[in-house]
Chain A
Amino acid sequence: MNTRREFLKQLGLATATLPFISNLNAFAAPASAGARKQRLIVMFSPNGTVPWDFWPEQEGSDYDLKPILQPMAEFKDRMLVTKGVCDKLKGDGDRHMRGMGCMLTGIELFPGNIQGGSDTPAGWASGISLDQELKNYLQSKEETRTRFGSLEFGVMVPDRADTWTRMSYAGPNKPVAPIDDPYQMFKKLYGQMKDRRNLTSILDDVQEDLQRLSSIIGSEDRQLLEEHAEFVRSMELQLQADAGSRLDHVVPELEPGVKEENDNIPQITKMQMDLLVNSFVNDFARVASFQITNSVGQPKMTWLGIDESHHTLSHEPDSNKEAHDKLTKINTWYCEQLAYLTKRLAETPEPNGEGSLLDNTLILWGNELGQGNNHTLNNIPFVMVGNGLDFNMGRSLKFPMVPHNRLLMSIAHGFGHHIETFGKPEFCSDGPLSLS
């Protein structure tokens, strides 16, 4: 059941005393003000990577693709692979917790009651995450404001709120829950449009019945019903006028009845990515996160012939070749999802603009760990795709073990949001990484 606030939010209402139609209009996107749109997607997959099957040997623009990144071959010249970027945050929480909670916040976790496999118990992150920071930045300006600002997608995120299942934070102690049910996401995005269509169809019937009743009611009471009918009529007219002008959004079709279960992960991922691309076409948001499972995620990729859970496999020592072949396959599958998303963005023309969505979008693919078996927070496998931020793409870069706060700052600066620090200030003193 929705809270009142959520309900109003879904209707796009600032206040319910606004006239009905202006409320419904809140749903239409604001007109673009000329400048090109910039968008960010953060994609997450868990449990670290297989470094030797991931990192390119060569630096620079003529770089090689190892097996895990092979699915991105087509987009190699629009990709940045950044080795040597590290999550340097210490403090409470085990590394899976810190890896997840600090990935986008760049700041420590609060002390708390969530006990990981090692270290001290911890709570939520103590700062805002980059996606929410940029959402606030874009929403603060008329020309970049959108209906939702940001959308948080998930795929098979366990139904529990804890440090391992949340990467996006609206502020200290304010985790944002991803929506991992495509039908729920669809309802959030398009539900009101459906309400409006239904409303339009029934108002005629109501109006007719009002007339029937007006004719049998006493003359002194008729006026009340006539006033009522007049209000209904004006609502009808406004709905019609609106339908003519603003209701041209592309509403995607969702295959019905896909259950949230392990074996449907590929299908759910695709549905969610399609919804994401569609929401960009409709300019519902300029920032999105896409969280596949969770930190310590345990999907069983049976569709790849792998029956063990991902996290369990990730603990195997480097010497276990069989396990690592599987881990490479698993990470390659995540990369295929990135490739699908990239392809969809590349194929979709920018509405009312030049080029494709990919020309105006940056995807950041991240992970809570560098590698699963040693739980390192060094060399987080960060990959960026797309030309949204005027970075000089198509390169493999190696940094001297720099704090990842600097990468987060680079992205903020790429949006024109020139913050001096992000997250823990002492990790920001060298400024943003130079990527352009």
Chain B
Amino acid sequence: MTRCVCILFIVSGLLFTTCSPLSAQEPAALQRGAKVFADKCASCHGAKGEGTADNYPEAIFGDQPTIDLADYISTTMPEGEPELCTGEDATAVAEWMQQAFYSPEAQARLNPPRRRLSRLTVSQYRNAIADLVESFAWTSRPDEQHGLKARYYKSRSFRDKEKVIERIDPVIDFNFGEATPDPEKIPEAEQFSIRWEGSILIDETGWYDFILKTENGGKLYINDSRTPLIDAWVKSGYDTEYRGARYLLAGRLYRVTLEWFTFKEKTASVGLWWKPPHGIEQPIPARHLSPQSSAPVLVVETPFPPDDRSDGYIRGTSVSREWVDATTFAAIEAVDKLVAQLPSAAKLKGDDDEAERQRKLKEFCSTFAYRAFRRPLSDTDRQTYVDGQFESAETSDDAVRRSLLAVLKSPRFLYREVTGQDDAFTKAARLSFALINSIPDRPLLEAAEKGWLDSEKGLRDQAWRLVNSYRGQVQLREFLRVWMNLERLEEVDKDAEIFPDFTPELVADLRSSLELLLTEAVTSEDGFQRLLTTPDMWVNDRIAAFYGIEKPVGDDFQKLPFEPQHRAGIASHPFLLSGLAYHDTTSPIHRGVFLSRGILGRALKPPPDSVAPLPPELEPHLTTRERVIKQTSPAMCNNCHKMINSLGFALEEFDAVGRFRAVEKEKPVNAAGYYRLRTGKTVNFTGASELAAFLLKSEETHRSFARQLFHHMVQQPILAYGPEAITELAEFFAGHQFSMKHLMVEIACRSASFSTPTTGKETTGD
């Protein structure tokens, strides 16, 4: 994390020309506030705080409680003459501003957000292509078994009669040395071979480096049973490490085969390692391996420009030339790969005559278009995308290519709800994108065809089916990564002199530890509570050694209590604590921003100027807390920082690498903090456990979680679904024991049934 701190502030500065005292009683307070604002403030800020070009162009809005807003006005406004508007005047103005334009609710009323036509996001596009192709093949779902199926042979060849051992190997990382794995069954160390088969289970999308470590010969196949990703069958020279990379989509199994042999070599070893998107090189952990087989997944590797996330969540509301080009390349790539699977996908037989072949191919193309467009084809669609292509192309092979290409370039595939229709198929698509971030699968389309989605129960049954699938789990998991800020914590490194043992390996382990907590959270009923307040941590040997945790012997991660008197939940997990810190000292500001914006959902605007933090060495006697208070004491800063700091201070008992400390600079650490609710009430807490208990209970946490989850799933502004949508979802969440799955189903079903179409003839002219 860089040295340049983000000092954030909430309200754009308020400039008042004059603000003379007026007397008014409670019922008239709003009128009084309105009058003061009109008389004294509007000339700079505009009649409704929208700003004026000459004086202060920024619109004023935010989510501070009235008491803080009034305080700010009282001490800083009008600029240069704050004594002109204080006390009751300031309070009256603040109250009036809240309901007139300042608060999120008022903003929603003034500028009601609209559901906008959207294209598929990049991950939706990739998922949709994979699912389209998969819908013509078979799929496998992960089960409880972990590791790969291993077959050991007592010679170089994989002949059945040479097979001597069959078992499951949880991890492939063997150093046989000069010995054989089993002297009885494999008498010669000079010659034996092993074949491992199964699947890799992926829960994060990205590029995976695969590494075959061997002194001998081997071939590694990943998601492709014909061409090896790594072909090191010929041992040549002195290399013992071979690499290859694959882009893999989360939520799926990918077939893996590793063939290995040793022949006349002094020693033998074999390791199947990888480097996942955020990890380090390590043997592929057993939890990511499955002995079951799986069908190939069509992963489009064409690079896409990133999606817009200026609203805080990924959405597809803009197009660019780069995106249109990418969809072209991706379509060509997908069609190329798909055509190779055509015989099985279109059920072609060797003895089909040309007429029969063409009939099957047309049927295949029609089905493909139906699934890609998420609705039955109209006659015009069929003519455009299927029949017309068969009429114009010279051969049926060309016709298939053109049809598939046209479908994948069609706005009906690339956009959501572009036809303006609002029916069972619309519901099916909304449900599916919300819950598995992709097009509807076959059972869901069938439910739409048969009218099952017309009933609330039918809709919910489908929603529950999806949310309980592995893909549904991954959708939740991907959201939790966003909610926890994980994607912004790409690189966590520390001053090697101060923290010599805080190695990249340890950082990767801590990330894995958090990922294991995510696994726990997405598979248990009380996952939300566990995330915020668990007293346990997933620990391996390296973590245990660094943090001084007593751990039973064993290579893998184990869940153990971790300083439960001091810690609770993710806010005191060492990965977040060290990620939200500088390379040498803590950063209550980073931690406070995460808590206020990420967890409590407060809107923070960027600071007016970027302010370099006060270097610790300039104030060697100050604790971090004291230094931060000093730095953020100017009124301009303090307006936001009193909230940010007072949340972050509660975590001051953990140093820059997340270790507990009672003392800093020879002074006892002060971990007292507080939070002023939007209602104006103040809550006090000291240390991580009290903080966590507060976060779990706070309605603001629930609202923020519901709002963010809604945006992640639906990719439309929640306030377009009614002014009460956030409140209702937050209450629903609390009313269902904070079951994240229940909330997902509720969000999916609500948005699926929401009746005003985004687009189409019926649109009211807003």
List chain A positions with a Cβ less than 8 A from chain B: 1-4, 7, 11, 16-17, 19-20, 109-115, 121-124, 126, 160-163, 172-173, 191, 194-195, 198-199, 201-203, 205-206, 208-210, 212-213, 216-221, 224-225, 227-228, 231-232, 234-235
Cβ A162 vs Cβ B234 within 8 A? yes
9 new A-B contacts, CB < 8 A, other than A111-B237, A220-B114, are: A1-B296, A160-B233, A173-B239, A199-B328, A206-B410, A209-B412, A224-B119, A224-B318, A235-B325
Segment among B332-340, B459-467, B569-577, B625-633 that sits at the interface with chain A: B332-340
Q: List 28 A-B contacts (CB under 8 A).
A: A1-B226, A1-B340, A7-B301, A17-B303, A110-B236, A112-B236, A113-B217, A113-B263, A113-B265, A115-B263, A122-B236, A163-B234, A173-B236, A191-B336, A198-B405, A202-B402, A213-B411, A213-B419, A216-B420, A216-B761, A217-B420, A218-B759, A220-B114, A221-B117, A224-B116, A225-B117, A228-B411, A232-B409
Question: Which residue, of B117, B223, B231, has the highest number of chain A Cβ atoms within 10 A?
Answer: B117
A3 to B127, CA, bound (A): 18
A194 to B326, CA, bound (A): 18
Cβ A19 vs Cβ B325 within 8 A? yes
Cβ B411 vs Cβ A225 within 8 A? yes
Cβ A110 vs Cβ B237 within 8 A? yes
A109 to B116, CA, bound (A): 64
Cβ–Cβ < 8 Å partners of A122 in chain B: 236
Cβ–Cβ < 8 Å partners of B398 in chain A: 194, 198
- Interface residue count on the B side (C-beta < 8 Å): 73
Q: Chain B nearest CB: distance from A18 CB in Å?
A: 9
Cβ B234 vs Cβ A199 within 8 A? no
Name the contact of B411 in the complex, choosing from A3, A112, A210 (C-beta under 8 A).
A210
Mark contacts of B197-233 with chain A using CB atoms, 8 A cut-off: 1 yes-contact digit, 0 otherwise.
0000000000000000000110000011011010101
Q: Is B641 an interface residue (CB 8 A)?
A: no
Cβ A221 vs Cβ B116 within 8 A? yes
Cβ A235 vs Cβ B328 within 8 A? yes
Of residues 397 to 444 in B, which have CB atoms within 8 Å of A's CB atoms?
A: 398, 401-402, 405-406, 409-412, 415, 418-420
Q: Give the secondary structure class of A's interface.
A: helix
Known: A173-B239, A205-B388, A232-B324. A2 touches B336 (CB 8 A): yes
Known: A113-B234, A161-B234. A205 touches B385 (CB 8 A): yes
A33 to B401, CA, bound (A): 38
Cβ–Cβ < 8 Å partners of B402 in chain A: 198, 201-202
Q: Is B176 an interface residue (CB 8 A)?
A: no
Cβ B321 vs Cβ A231 within 8 A? yes
Q: Chain A nearest CB: distance from B332 CB in Å?
A: 5
Q: Is B389 an interface residue (CB 8 A)?
A: yes
Of residues 716 to 766 in B, which have CB atoms within 8 Å of A's CB atoms?
A: 758-761, 763, 765-766
Cβ A221 vs Cβ B758 within 8 A? yes
- Please name the residue on chain A nearest to B761 by beta carbon: A216
5 tightest CB-CB pairs across the interface, nearest first?
Answer: A123-B236, A110-B237, A221-B117, A113-B235, A218-B763
Cβ B409 vs Cβ A202 within 8 A? yes
Name the contact of B324 in the complex, choosing from A4, A161, A228 (C-beta under 8 A).
A228
Cβ–Cβ < 8 Å partners of A126 in chain B: 237
Cβ–Cβ < 8 Å partners of A212 in chain B: 380
A224 to B114, CA, bound (A): 15
Q: Is B524 an interface residue (CB 8 A)?
A: no
Question: Which residue, of A172, A198, A203, A228, has the highest number of chain B Cβ atoms within 10 A?
Answer: A198
Cβ–Cβ < 8 Å partners of B385 in chain A: 205
Q: Is B610 an interface residue (CB 8 A)?
A: no
Q: Chain A nearest CB: distance from B407 CB in Å?
A: 9
Cβ A121 vs Cβ B264 within 8 A? yes
Q: Is B247 an interface residue (CB 8 A)?
A: yes
Q: Is B55 an interface residue (CB 8 A)?
A: no
Cβ A227 vs Cβ B263 within 8 A? no
- Please name the residue on chain A nearest to B117 by beta carbon: A221
A163 to B234, CA, bound (A): 8
Q: Is B329 an interface residue (CB 8 A)?
A: yes
Cβ–Cβ < 8 Å partners of A163 in chain B: 234
Cβ–Cβ < 8 Å partners of A110 in chain B: 236-238
Cβ B236 vs Cβ A235 within 8 A? no
Cβ–Cβ < 8 Å partners of B318 in chain A: 224
Mark contacts of B300-344 with chain A using CB atoms, 8 A cut-off: 1 yes-contact digit, 0 otherwise.
011100000000000001111110111011001100110010000
Cβ A11 vs Cβ B329 within 8 A? yes
Of residues 614 to 643 in B, which have CB atoms within 8 Å of A's CB atoms?
A: none
A173 to B231, CA, bound (A): 12
Known: A113-B234, A114-B234, A213-B419. A224 touches B337 (CB 8 A): no
Cβ A224 vs Cβ B328 within 8 A? no
A203 to B402, CA, bound (A): 10
Cβ–Cβ < 8 Å partners of A7 in chain B: 301-302, 333
- Please name the residue on chain A nearest to B409 by beta carbon: A206
Name the contact of A16 in the complex, choosing from B319, B321, B326, B406 (C-beta under 8 A).
B326
Question: Which residue, of B233, B236, B325, B389, has the highest number of chain A Cβ atoms within 10 A?
Answer: B236
Cβ–Cβ < 8 Å partners of B329 in chain A: 11, 16, 20
Cβ–Cβ < 8 Å partners of A203 in chain B: 409
- Please name the residue on chain B nearest to A15 by beta carbon: B303
Cβ–Cβ < 8 Å partners of A218 in chain B: 117, 420, 758-760, 763
A205 to B223, CA, bound (A): 34
A19 to B415, CA, bound (A): 23
- Please name the residue on chain A nearest to B333 by beta carbon: A7
Cβ–Cβ < 8 Å partners of A220 in chain B: 114, 116, 766
- Please name the residue on chain B nearest to A218 by beta carbon: B763
Q: Is B99 an interface residue (CB 8 A)?
A: no
Cβ–Cβ < 8 Å partners of A4 in chain B: 247, 301
Cβ–Cβ < 8 Å partners of B303 in chain A: 16-17
Name the contact of A121 in the complex, choosing from B263, B412, B418 (C-beta under 8 A).
B263
A289 to B235, CA, bound (A): 25
Cβ B224 vs Cβ A1 within 8 A? yes
Of residues 677 to 713 in B, which have CB atoms within 8 Å of A's CB atoms?
A: none
Known: A115-B263, A213-B418, A216-B420. A195 touches B332 (CB 8 A): yes
Cβ–Cβ < 8 Å partners of A172 in chain B: 237
A217 to B416, CA, bound (A): 12
- Please name the residue on chain A nearest to B766 by beta carbon: A220
Cβ A225 vs Cβ B332 within 8 A? no
Cβ–Cβ < 8 Å partners of A213 in chain B: 411-412, 418-419
Cβ–Cβ < 8 Å partners of B503 in chain A: none
- Please name the residue on chain A nearest to B381 by beta carbon: A209
Q: Chain A nearest CB: distance from B33 CB in Å?
A: 35
Cβ A224 vs Cβ B319 within 8 A? yes
Q: Chain B nearest CB: distance from A11 CB in Å?
A: 7
Name the contact of B237 in the complex, choosing from A173, A199, A216, A231 (C-beta under 8 A).
A173
Q: Is B384 an interface residue (CB 8 A)?
A: yes
Q: Is B140 an interface residue (CB 8 A)?
A: no
Cβ B216 vs Cβ A209 within 8 A? no
Cβ–Cβ < 8 Å partners of A112 in chain B: 234-237
Cβ–Cβ < 8 Å partners of A221 in chain B: 116-117, 758-759
Q: Chain A nearest CB: distance from B374 CB in Å?
A: 14
Q: Is B145 an interface residue (CB 8 A)?
A: no
Question: Which residue, of A1, A121, A199, has the highest number of chain B Cβ atoms within 10 A?
Answer: A1
Q: Chain B nearest CB: distance from A232 CB in Å?
A: 7
Q: Is B468 an interface residue (CB 8 A)?
A: no
A1 to B341, CA, bound (A): 10
Known: A2-B337, A124-B236. A199 touches B405 (CB 8 A): yes
Q: Is B20 an interface residue (CB 8 A)?
A: no
Mark contacts of B17-45 with chain A using CB atoms, 8 A cut-off: 1 yes-contact digit, 0 otherwise.
00000000000000000000000000000
Question: Which residue, of A112, A173, A205, A210, has the highest number of chain B Cβ atoms within 10 A?
Answer: A205
A114 to B264, CA, bound (A): 10
Cβ–Cβ < 8 Å partners of A225 in chain B: 117, 411, 415, 418
Q: Chain B nearest CB: distance from A24 CB in Å?
A: 10
A203 to B325, CA, bound (A): 13
Cβ–Cβ < 8 Å partners of A19 in chain B: 321, 325
Name the contact of A162 in the complex, choosing from B233, B388, B420 (C-beta under 8 A).
B233
A209 to B413, CA, bound (A): 12
Cβ B234 vs Cβ A123 within 8 A? yes
